[in-house]
Amino acid sequence: MRLRNVPGAREIMVENKYVYTEPEGMKGTWKEVFGNSNPIHIEVGMGKGKFITTLAGLNPNINYIGIEKYSSVLLRAVEKQDELQLENLRFIRMDAENITEVFDKDEVDRIYLNFSDPWPKDRHAKRRLTSRQFFARYNQFLRKEGRVEFKTDNVGLFDFSLEEVKEAGWNLICSTYDLHNDETLNKGNVMTEYEEKFSEMGNPICKLMADR
Ligand code: SAM
């Protein structure tokens, strides 16, 4: 993700009613935030938020929380949400390394990871959002019946992720190296910003789903 430093973005995040910038105190309270007991789906590394905002509009009975590290990137999603005012959509500005501080056991029903940063150096493998270290974090707050869904055009990262699912002791529900030509898995697919960009360039999109 190319980063544009947007002056004032940090301050806008702190003041905006849809954004949590100090989310550690929120653990166990997300049902109260939404005012209902609907399932909670999160996207980690949501970027500008096209995917999660589209899903929130399509599924009013599911609550969505998008997580993004950078205010300058999150800004686009927040501006859109200021227009749309979707009741079932919130954002957290944080580094997902600390995600277990923010969600309690069984608080989340689904985790989306889309076009996550590849961290190409081996010594940075544990920073990848599909590493066994991250699966161990997800294990702490994802409901038993919940699942992780991951999409990328990066075959190296995808192969690594398939291995990590196994190493983490999770179960691979399904996977494809060409989502857009897989009639079953592509049904109802909502494209992310990166997915649009890379599939227009001719890159096939990989997808896996995993549970425990
Ligand atoms: N998911 C979007 C998409 O598919 O269009 C954005 C993909 S972009 C390549 C990855 C995004 O994840 C960036 O905006 C980056 O800042 C964010 N990100 C990467 N590591 C993160 C972390 N540890 N915590 C929160 N956000 C992270």
- Cβ(211) to ligand 1 under 6 A? no
Ligand 1 center to 70 CA (angstroms): 9
- Cβ(1) to ligand 1 under 6 A? yes
- Torsion over CA: 119, 122, 127, 130 (sign): positive
Q: Looking at residue 10, what is its pLDDT?
A: 86
pLDDT band at 118 (very low <50, low <70, confident <90, very high): very high
The residue among 70, 67, 77 whose CA lies nearest residue 20 is 67
Q: Which helix (H) or strand (E) segment is 135 a member of?
A: helix 132-141
Which whole number is the average pLDDT over 38-59? 98
What backbone phi and psi angles, to 5 degrees, belong to 195? Answer: -60, -45
pTM: 0.97
Give the span between the Cα atoms of 211 and 165, in whole angstroms. 9
Ligand 1 center to 144 CA (angstroms): 25
- Cβ(114) to ligand 1 under 6 A? yes
- Point out the least confidently predicted range of 8-17, 39-48, 88-97, 118-127: 8-17
Strands in 37-170 per DSSP E: 40-44, 63-68, 89-93, 108-114, 142-152
What are residue 8's DSSP bridge partners?
A: none
Q: Looking at residue 1, what is its pLDDT?
A: 53
- Is 140's pLDDT higher than 60? yes
- Cβ(192) to ligand 1 under 6 A? yes
pLDDT, averaged across the chain: 96
Q: Looking at residue 42, what is its pLDDT?
A: 98
What backbone phi and psi angles, to 5 degrees, belong to 47? Answer: 65, -135
For 93, the token pair is 């500005």
- Cβ(47) to ligand 1 under 6 A? yes
Which whole number is the average pLDDT over 95-120? 98
Q: Looking at residue 2, what is its pLDDT?
A: 54
Q: Looking at residue 13, what is its pLDDT?
A: 86
Nearest-10 crossing angle of helices 50-58, 193-200: 120
The residues that are catalytic are: 117
Q: Which helix (H) or strand (E) segment is 175 a member of?
A: strand 171-176
- Is 77's pLDDT higher than 60? yes
Scored b (16 or more CB within 10 A) or e, 94-111 reads bebeebbebbeeebbbbb
Q: Looking at residue 45, what is its pLDDT?
A: 98
Counting ligand 1 atoms within 8 A of each CB, the residue from 13, 44, 138, 207 with the most, and so the one to mutate, is 44
Ligand 1 center to 97 CA (angstroms): 12
